[in-house]
Amino acid sequence: MKKYRLLILIFVLLSCQKEAKISTDGTKLRGPCLSSLIDDQKVTLKYYSQYQNTTDILLPYKLVDPDYFDIYESQGQLNEFKKVIELKNDNNYRYTFNDLNNDSAYYFFVIAKREGYVPICSDTIMVIPNPRPPFEDLFVYNNNHTVVSVSYSPSVNKIAYVDNNYSWNGGENCCMTNSIIISSINNQSQELLVTDSSDPDWSPNGDKILFLLGSIGHGYYTQISLYDVSSKTITRLTNDTTYYYNPTFSPSGDKILYQSNKNRPDINSTNIWLMDLNNSSIGKIIDLSANNLINISRPDWINENEFIFQGIKSNNITSIYKSDIRTKNIEPLIESRWNNYSASISQNADRIAFVSDRSGSEQLWLYNIQTKEYKQLTGYDSNEYFLDAWTKINWIDNDQLLFTFGENRLTQLNIK
């Protein structure tokens, strides 16, 4: 029976395509673009067209709507799909599944159909329904300012974050630039660290902040710098014509990992480097030319020797890997058909919080390293979304997370 269902699924997938083809009459079928919302024992699929809000006159062809949508579902694994319903196009593009099992993985894809056109398949998504956990918004910017790339210090209970639109000299639209702000966790008693800066990271005891400082000299570059909280002095740790990204302290505070395009062909291609702050020695830890990754980024320490990071293979899928500054070996931790970004490991090193587009949009997920089980933490509201380029997930303790929704909402989540 399983073999029979698998053959049906293969036939279905072979009979549809991911991208619509332009017909001989110059028309093209609108394809489904699948995303989801979750709730207690509930999943709502949104299968609107990726071109739904595009004005047809701007396209070199005419779009036609599907007449029907077939929804396929598999629970627990990716290879047991079955067609659960055929929906006539009512232009609502939504369907809700109720009475599902909480904490169970469900997989869906949608096929758009219209007579005379080859059916179009959506991407497959993964969702895990569960009751909405308690979110606490610590502060929300309702103006043009941002709170992104947040770093939290449990030692002093403060945050450092980037305001992309910080302005000074009292002028609207005057002198605006990325700037690091230090404040209490609820954004009281704000203090400017320095303008033209980004990527803050608190030291383990809260006395220093690593960050990137803009540098002009035969071009514009970002340099790793160190801020002393007590003396308010800034020390540059690098000073060259190289781009640096995402510096992060080791648990002891004696070493830092960071990305750099040093000896790489462009600014978006980086290796991971190690700097010993005791003697300023540096060394390359992960070399792109020595493995099958095409880019690497976002290191996060596990302990004094091991760390996790995100890497991209030739299929352009971002996955989470583990390495060691001594052996430099690479071990995959979270690999899938979806993108997995901005991973942060818990203080007891048993769980990884990360952003993934597996549910059809960038949402926060949790991965248990021992059980290899996943839990979906966000995706209850269409206003909950992440910007993977700026997202930084902080563990307040082993049961609480601190992160930013979008660019303006700092949120605390209890995951017990």
Domains of the chain, residue spans = 2-127, 135-414
Is 342 within 8 Å of 354 (Cβ atoms)? yes
100 touches 136 (CB < 8 A): no
Domain 135-414 has CATH 2.120.10.30: yes
Q: Assess contact for 72 and 86: CB atoms under 8 A.
A: no
pLDDT at 248: 98
Tokens of 227: 């801020």
Task: State pLDDT tens for residues 339-380.
Answer: 999 999 999 999 999 999 999 999 999 999 999 999 999 999
pLDDT at residue 56, rounded to an integer:
56
Backbone angles phi, psi at 169, to 5 degrees: 65, 20
pLDDT band at 169 (very low <50, low <70, confident <90, very high): low
Can you tell me the mean pLDDT for 207-220?
81
State the pLDDT at residue 79: 84
**pLDDT over 80 (residue 237):** yes
Q: Are 118 and 17 in contact (CB under 8 A)?
A: yes
Rg (CA), the chain: 24
pLDDT in tens, 254-306: 999 999 999 888 887 899 999 999 999 999 999 998 889 999 999 999 999 99
Q: What is the pLDDT of residue 50?
A: 54
- Cα–Cα distance measured from residue 401 to residue 407, given in angstroms and rounded to the nearest whole number: 17
On average, the pLDDT of the chain sits at 90
Q: Is the pLDDT of residue 5 over 50?
A: no
**pLDDT tens digits for range 217-232:** 545 788 999 999 999 9
- CA-nearest of 103, 73, 66 to 88 is 66
What per-residue confidence (pLDDT) applies to 30? 87
Contact 215, 165 (CB under 8 A): no
Question: What pLDDT does residue 11 have?
Answer: 47
DSSP code at position 347 = T
pLDDT at 387: 83
Domain 2-127 has CATH 2.60.40.10: yes
- Kindly state the average pLDDT of the residues 136-159: 94
Encoding tokens for residue 394? 């902080």
pLDDT in tens, 83-132: 999 999 998 999 999 999 999 999 999 999 999 999 999 999 999 999 99
> What is residue 7's predicted lDDT score, i.e. its pLDDT?
47
- Report DSSP state, residue 136: E
Q: Please state, in angstroms and rounded to a whole number, the distance separating the CA atoms of residues 343 and 9.
A: 34
8-60 pLDDT per residue, tens: 455 455 457 776 666 667 888 988 999 999 999 999 999 986 555 555 556 77
Residue 4 in this model has a pLDDT that exceeds 90: no
3-state helix, strand, coil in the chain (%, to 5): 5, 50, 45
At residue 60, the pLDDT reads 77
pTM given for the model: 0.91
**Residue 172 confidence class, pLDDT cut points 50, 70, 90:** low
Q: What is the pLDDT of residue 388?
A: 76
Q: Would 2-127 and 135-414 be classified into the same CATH topology?
A: no
3-state secondary structure (DSSP) of residue 5:
helix
Share of the chain above pLDDT 70, in %: 89
